[in-house]
């Protein structure tokens, strides 16, 4: 196996590991309240509602809860914005990476709603998409530096 194939295989392995952990934490991790016991459907369709709530009540909720919700939803999708173009289409445009990230986030939110684990939240989609945008910018910046 040549070096390029090994490098690509490592990227695919990293992406599979990342997706596995992402799916576990967003759909199954009990430490985040992802149990299947008698849950109702939970959703937020009002943009910025939960973001404002977390900021407004940050002193009552605690720094950890606010950081996990806001910064965590951004940070968890930064790798997605890097992996997608590296593995599937290196010449993807920024908007394509962002759209793919938004679609993946939407699918996860729908799964959370359908399986009643967590809640469907448009704010999460926004924050996840922002994370994908940051990852895409990192990818595009590193790609343009390699071309110099």
Between CA 126 and CA 123 the distance in angstroms is 5
Cβ atoms 87, 15 nearer than 8 A: yes
- Please state the φ and ψ torsions of residue 42, each to the nearest 5 degrees: -130, 130
Cβ atoms 112, 36 nearer than 8 A: no
Number of separate domains in the chain = 1
Site of tokens 């110099």: 148
How does the average pLDDT of the chain come out, rounded?
Answer: 90
Between CA 97 and CA 89 the distance in angstroms is 10
Q: Tell me: the pLDDT tens digits for 64-82?
A: 989 888 999 999 999 999 9
Domain that holds residue 132: 3-35+42-147
What pLDDT is stored for residue 137 in this prediction? 95
What pLDDT is stored for residue 38 in this prediction? 55
């Amino acid at each position: 196996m040549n070096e390029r194939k090994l490098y690509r295989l490592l990227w695919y392995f990293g992406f599979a590991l990342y997706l596995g952990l992402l799916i576990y934490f967003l759909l199954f991790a009990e430490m985040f309240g992802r149990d299947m016991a008698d849950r109702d459907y939970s959703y937020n369709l009002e943009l910025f509602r939960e973001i404002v709530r977390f900021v407004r009540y940050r002193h009552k909720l605690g720094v950890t809860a606010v950081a996990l919700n806001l910064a965590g939803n951004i940070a968890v999708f930064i790798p997605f914005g890097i992996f997608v173009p590296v593995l599937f289409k290196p010449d993807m445009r920024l908007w394509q990476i962002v759209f793919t990230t938004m679609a993946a986030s939407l699918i996860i939110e729908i799964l959370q709603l359908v399986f009643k684990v967590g809640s469907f939240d448009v704010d999460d989609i926004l924050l996840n998409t922002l994370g994908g945008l940051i990852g895409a910018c990192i990818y595009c910046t590193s790609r343009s530096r390699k071309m110099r």
